[in-house]
Structure 1
Amino acid sequence: MIKRLFSEGFRIFFLAACLFALAAMGQWEAYLGVEAAGGWGALPAAQAPHIWHAHEMIFGYGAATLGGFFLTAVPNWTGAKGAAQRFIALAFLVWLAGRLAMWGGASLPPVLVAAADLAFLPVLAAKIAAQLLARPKPQQLIFLLALGFLWTANLFCHLEWLGLLSDGVEQGLRAGLLTLIAMIVILGGRVTPGFTRNAMAASGREDRLPQNPKALAILSIAPALALPPVVLVGLPELIIGALAILAGAAALARLTLWRSAWTVRRPILWTLHLSYGLTGAGLLAFGLASLNIGSEIAALHLLGIGAVGGMTLSVLSRATLGHTGRPLVAPTAVTVAYVLMPLAALLRYLGGALPALHTPATLVAGGLWIAAFALVLAALIPAWLLPRAPVGRPAP
């Protein structure tokens, strides 16, 4: 079973992502609960609790989902041989070392914490670069650029913690989240209409299929991908806001062409559409907040929970089912999780926008996040641990 867990990247990294999502959010909920009860909460991390929470959701959970996705998808894109078990195990241990270093950072030298936390993305990027360069395509090589942005954003955080940069954490966290959002704009913009078109064609439908105009795709991807470096170099908020609004508006415009209504009875599809819609809405909210219209904290959580949380759950569940030979039909527990995630995003958005609701909305949103991942973990752990379902037979 252990060998099987490391036989394919999605198995260990999607399992690790779900477990970490539960553990990290559980710790954050416990801290907030103690604070709300009038106590004094503390974590063994070197950073303030809210900084640790934000960092680990982006560079811990986010990086794990990227590891599972890219180690599985890139060999399919290029025809290259998948990563060996030893590499997958090594990459996982490097990721885990970063999480442990961040958790116990108060007792460790900051340079050691930085080295451990910054090691995973270069390891992942080196492997997928070797696979992508076997059959280089510009639309795929762009992910190496995005991984570079994500690593640089994390570097900015550690440079401040090392005392080498005066204001790196705020920029690094924002740029890191926006890099994940840019990847969703790119990848979600491919798979959402593509999977929908395939399902419609399989049902016998030949007309009014999803459309994905190249010009509109570029109009959403270019500003979304420009946002992380623009934030890191500290360009004016007016530019940041304009880019985010353009990317969000273009993303929502694309969504209107993807026949979302047709997917209502197919949770494995509508969750992609809903998560992409929340990505566009979150970018609009972030852009407006950059122009002093609305709450930036609310907008960032709409992006973090609704876009990143929603889309990663959508993709990891579909990829797990597909790559283990199981039917592409979301189990009931996973469908419930698809519903809980946008509800958590909405509640946390209200908690950021309305100060009177901040504590209860934040706690309930965190509880919904935990419930969603617990359901997904319970439903999919057999797929990660057990052999592929026999061809032609329903999955157990």
Structure 2
Amino acid sequence: MNRLLEIRDHLSAAPHRSLFLAGALQGVLTVLWWVFDLAGRYGLAGSMAHWSIAPTWAHAFLMVYGFFPFFILGFLFTTYPNWMNGDKVKPREYVATCALMAAGVVLFYVGLLTHKAIIILGIELMLIGWGVAVYVLYRILLSTPDQDKRHARVISIALLMGWLGVAAYLLWLVTEDPTMLNFARHTGVWFFLLPIVLTVSHRMIPFFSSRVLDNYEMVRPYWMLWLMLACIAAHGSLQWLELPAYLWIVDFPLAGCALYLSYRWGFLRSFSVSLLAVLHFSFAWLGVAMLLYGLQSLVYFASGNLILGLAPLHALGIGFFASMILAMASRVTIGHSGRPLELDRLTWVLFLGFQATAVLRILADIIPAIAPLLYVLAALVWLACFGLWAIKYAPIFWRQRVDGKPG
């Protein structure tokens, strides 16, 4: 009993602990469920399962809204007070957020096996938990003294858009209106995840680089950030309006900006410090993904053929989003557990192995003849790398800091 109380106290000692733990578990569970579904669907193992909603849309929700937000909120609950010299987030606030959202995800899985009504209840709990987070972070944003809050304002708007995306998904479940589903799908990627991950990268990657690289010039052009965000908003709007032939107009400028920032931020130099290199490597995927999006759109504009399928989406979702989450979560966990800010060899190997997930999933759309095999193989590589990462890092979240300090 005392041991359980001790674990509870450590999990609530800092905002990232419980949320990162939930994210780590969900990063394994959601892909494990997806492997089970894919293997049965394509006759690779077992038999085809019957779910209460279409598995494709369940997979999309679980990845976009049921996995990434745990890491994002754990990070923001930690950084917002530091960025703006605000009051720390109270334990009851971040624990409530985690508990409600985690319970919602559990009910989502139960509902997949039983009835859609249970999924609806789960998403309602997630919306309440997410709403607590929005309230807390907006309170910090609005109550702190006047200062440079540009990054925080962008992230706050994107976080609210994510909440609206979950609400739209809930409305789709209730009404079966495809407009709501499309809004939820495109909002999750283009108005929630990408603005947040890009804006955090714009703030943190040059800062981290300046701390460890000699004679480093910190380049952080805001005009380029605004241009990139405008391109992202335009892409999301065009996607929602089903106008893929015109995406290249904004995708190529977005790709150019991302590749330029990779170069100016010191992509090649970063490999001298592995803890920094994982951030730069992850960010480089943004330029690659938008080039793929632009190429596909331009070909569609000229010929009406979508030659790459979902390859650009997975370059963005796995290559950029998931890799950056893995990189940032590793750094935060190491630093906030009192350990030296160094990436050990195992984590570096797992991160590099994780890149194979993105490559395999991209190849699945380029080589459709063996796509089912590559779908499952990509998911298995994710499970192996992310699972080992979770096994290594999850115990840190329920243990005391190694330096004995609070938090």
TM-score of the two chains, using structure 1 as the length reference: 0.90
1:277 is matched with 284
Residues 118-267 of structure 1: pairs in structure 2 closer than 5 A: 118-135=127-144, 137-163=149-175, 165-178=177-190, 179-200=192-213, 205-206=214-215, 209-228=217-236, 231-232=239-240, 234=241, 236-267=243-274
The alpha-carbon distance between structure 1 residues 243 and 322, as it changes in their structure 2 partners (threshold 3 A), is same
Aligned-residue Cα RMSD (Å) equals 2.3
Moved more, 53-62 or 322-331: 322-331
Alpha-carbon contact 1:102-1:117 (below 8 Å) kept: no
Of residues 347, 352, 360, the one that matches 1:334 is 347
1:343 is matched with 356
Q: Give, in angstroms, the shift of residue 119 of structure 1.
A: 2.5
- Which amino acid in 2 is paired with 1:138? R
The alpha-carbon distance between structure 1 residues 240 and 171, as it changes in their structure 2 partners (threshold 3 A), is farther
2:13 is matched with 7
- Which amino acid in 2 is paired with 1:183? I
Q: Give, in angstroms, the shift of residue 225 of structure 1.
A: 4.4
Q: Distance in 2 between matches of 1:60 and 1:114?
A: 10
Say which SS state the counterpart of residue 210 (structure 2) adopts.
helix
1:67 is matched with 73
Report how many aligned residue pairs link the two structures: 385
Q: Give, in angstroms, the shift of residue 146 of structure 1.
A: 0.3
1:318-376 deviation per Cα after TM superposition (whole angstroms, max 9, x unaligned): 01111222111112221112102221101100102220131121112111111221222
The alpha-carbon distance between structure 1 residues 170 and 355, as it changes in their structure 2 partners (threshold 3 A), is farther
Are 1:300 and 2:306 counterparts?
Answer: no
The alpha-carbon distance between structure 1 residues 327 and 87, as it changes in their structure 2 partners (threshold 3 A), is same
Contiguous gaps of at least 5 residues in structure 1: none
TM-score of the two chains, using structure 2 as the length reference: 0.87
Q: Distance in 1 between matches of 2:273 and 2:150?
A: 32
Q: Distance in 2 between matches of 1:145 and 1:296?
A: 30
Q: Give, in angstroms, the shift of residue 144 of structure 1.
A: 1.4
The alpha-carbon distance between structure 1 residues 163 and 218, as it changes in their structure 2 partners (threshold 3 A), is same
Q: Give, in angstroms, the shift of residue 164 of structure 1.
A: 5.8
Are 1:100 and 2:109 counterparts?
Answer: no
- Which amino acid in 1 is paired with 2:269? W
Q: Give, in angstroms, the shift of residue 13 of structure 1.
A: 0.9
Alpha-carbon contact 2:97-2:133 (below 8 Å) kept: yes
Q: Give, in angstroms, the shift of residue 113 of structure 1.
A: 4.4
Q: Distance in 1 between matches of 2:333 and 2:65?
A: 22
Are 1:369 and 2:382 counterparts?
Answer: yes
Contiguous gaps of at least 5 residues in structure 2: 1-6, 301-305
The alpha-carbon distance between structure 1 residues 168 and 263, as it changes in their structure 2 partners (threshold 3 A), is same
Alpha-carbon contact 1:196-1:258 (below 8 Å) kept: yes
The alpha-carbon distance between structure 1 residues 383 and 236, as it changes in their structure 2 partners (threshold 3 A), is same
Sequence identity (%): 23
The alpha-carbon distance between structure 1 residues 118 and 241, as it changes in their structure 2 partners (threshold 3 A), is farther
